[in-house]
Structure 1
């Protein structure tokens, strides 16, 4: 019975975002919130180079742009009309490549229409962007090859797919070792009851299909990913009283996580690390996740899991490493006693501590999780 139910959900999502919603003002929740962090200047500059006919079809979703993108191969799950792809195109450069995949044919065709315009505008001799019409849980059917991408991004699309584990399995398959999935999505404080799952509006509003946040780690590690690394989190509120009453004790949060696919190497050990600086847009300070902000030249004591991620990913060249407790010289910022800190993994805890509840149309940046460009 799963297949017919999944097909019905796909159809409902397409109808909700294609016909029911006309503008973001029609949304019943603030799942479309501004990001917890300001959009860096280099990303804002890249946005200015995207054609207005592309940006005008981008209905409130925020940017999901990780760091250190030069020459990378990137896959965007649920690319819509291609705004993020054209931003990323500039950041990876001519030697990199960006692939966007979306189930909505009209959106993909719009994205393709402006391919030549953007390549000429960016000064590229050959296109470094490709668009594919397909579902994000069917990457193999779409011809996406095994271990072909350095980074996969997704902005509040996975929650709209019934089989989330299949999406993550496909992402794991197409990522290179050392690669990561950097994604925003909506999570629930408990297992979502069936009456919420079956509610078409709540599913379309990114709540009905939300994953219980603890299940993300279970699914991810079952597939082979490292434990999820929490980056940011915002509480979601519901403006519609009728819908709010249906939710009961179930709360929702919009959160960004990083999932790394690492090679099976030696057991992870604590390390002291020093950020060398120089990553574009993060030259002096790299906010890696909710637990670690690395300042140029400063010694930081990290757990074995974090050390393994840094040593085996594209960030390896940006850090100096030494065994924990050893003497590591740094240009500045070295503290005599490096404290062991509690790792925050609960997005609700982070959202509450940060007091990041925001109004639905708060100014000052790109929107957060949902919008009309949904894919599957």
Structure 2
């Protein structure tokens, strides 16, 4: 967590991209109606009742100044320490503060003063609304490329979320590296972002409006796989994917044949060493996923039904906050190693977006194209 809620990085300074983003989100955008694409807007997907109720308690001004591209609610959050990268007006922070409870804590970091002013303005309002005796939310002004410089301690967070923000950074590898540093062992980076169908040319990357609309800075989704490995994370596991549409003809002409999706991935900070494939059984009971846990687009777990999982997922479940939610079979860790390359789990987000649109299988908190075994999109 943050050593000082007002801290900001001293060794990292604004690039021209940071200045443009601050201008776009701090002054040009006043409400979500000012956006020119749906990249930075939540897709119309159903949310569990407990999340809808939590959102109802967030102040209207905070919601109006929210520009995220997905509703980020990873499972099993009670008592967790959560960091929100690019927290903006604080909508997700205040929603998540209700889920972590009084014993948990949510920290939001953002570089835009105007957004932070809105978030901090309603801190006392929300704590009173939630019935908390003391604040479990704090906001830090700083850069997502320089988390430790902003006063965030290494190995201190259980979960990091990011909602359509990493694409706005000119140094995405550094963002992942800093996130890895401040996560605890077994911690998770659960994030929604915009991805492109190929590497974008300079004409698109240098377009200020397209960058502000979360399109100009979009990664080719295959580059994310290499970037995650280079920074030490587990192989990215795709959770959901939704097509992005652009209504502005001028912008469409510039984008040409490039396509975009809003996709959610989960990455874990795991111990080194060989993992073993295993049969696991979800014990059930996680709020919002009491009988069925949609972990990613390849695995959905039904309570009390054993499922064979790949090596890395077995390691994720054993070493993360999910360890107590699963029973591992056979007891004693005698599962045999199985050679399955990480790339076998590299689901194409564009294929998933297409299948999800056809089948209506994407949920707001997980799921996708799967049953209780790896689906076609993961082959």
**In which range does the TM-score fall when normalised by the shorter chain?**
0.7 to 0.9
TM superposition score normalised by structure 2: 0.85
Given the superposition, is the C-alpha separation of residues 104 and 33 from structure 1 closer, same or farther in structure 2, using an over 3 Å criterion? Answer: closer
Task: Find the aligned partners of 1:32 and 1:81 in 2 and give their Cα distance.
Answer: 14
Is 2:300 the partner of 1:298?
no
Q: Alignment partner for residue 278 of structure 2, among 271, 276, 286?
A: 271
Give the match for residue 220 of structure 1.
228
Is 2:18 the partner of 1:10?
yes
Matches of residues 107-126 of structure 1 in structure 2 within 5 Å?
A: 107-126=115-134
Where 1:124 maps in the other structure, the secondary structure is: coil
Deviation at 1:37, TM superposition (A): 4.6
Task: Find the aligned partners of 1:135 and 1:344 in 2 and give their Cα distance.
Answer: 29
Deviation at 1:11, TM superposition (A): 1.5
Task: Find the aligned partners of 1:49 and 1:246 in 2 and give their Cα distance.
Answer: 40
Question: What do the CA deviations read for 1:155-206 (whole angstroms, capped 9, x no partner)?
Answer: 0000001000011000000000100000000111111111110111111111
Q: Which has the higher contact order (CA 8 A, sep 6+)?
A: 1
Question: Are 1:284 and 1:295, in contact at CA under 8 Å, matched by a contact in 2?
Answer: yes
Give the match for residue 186 of structure 1.
194
Task: Find the aligned partners of 1:48 and 1:270 in 2 and give their Cα distance.
Answer: 42
Give the match for residue 371 of structure 1.
none
Question: Are 1:36 and 1:234, in contact at CA under 8 Å, matched by a contact in 2?
Answer: no
Matches of residues 1-376 of structure 1 in structure 2 within 5 Å?
A: 7-35=15-43, 37-59=45-67, 61-265=69-273, 267-323=274-330, 343-355=345-357
Question: Are 1:29 and 1:238, in contact at CA under 8 Å, matched by a contact in 2?
Answer: yes
Where 2:47 maps in the other structure, the secondary structure is: coil
Question: Are 2:31 and 2:66, in contact at CA under 8 Å, matched by a contact in 1?
Answer: no
Deviation at 1:365, TM superposition (A): 8.4
Given the superposition, is the C-alpha separation of residues 10 and 38 from structure 1 closer, same or farther in structure 2, using an over 3 Å criterion? Answer: same
* Count of residues in Structure 1 that have an aligned counterpart in Structure 2: 344
Deviation at 1:30, TM superposition (A): 2.2
Given the superposition, is the C-alpha separation of residues 144 and 226 from structure 1 closer, same or farther in structure 2, using an over 3 Å criterion? Answer: same
Question: What do the CA deviations read for 1:7-37 (whole angstroms, capped 9, x no partner)?
Answer: 1111112222334334433333221354475
Unaligned runs of 5+ in 2: 1-10, 336-343, 366-379
Choose 306-315 or 5-14, whichever is displaced more. Answer: 5-14
Task: Find the aligned partners of 1:242 and 1:123 in 2 and give their Cα distance.
Answer: 49
CA RMSD of aligned residues (A): 2.7
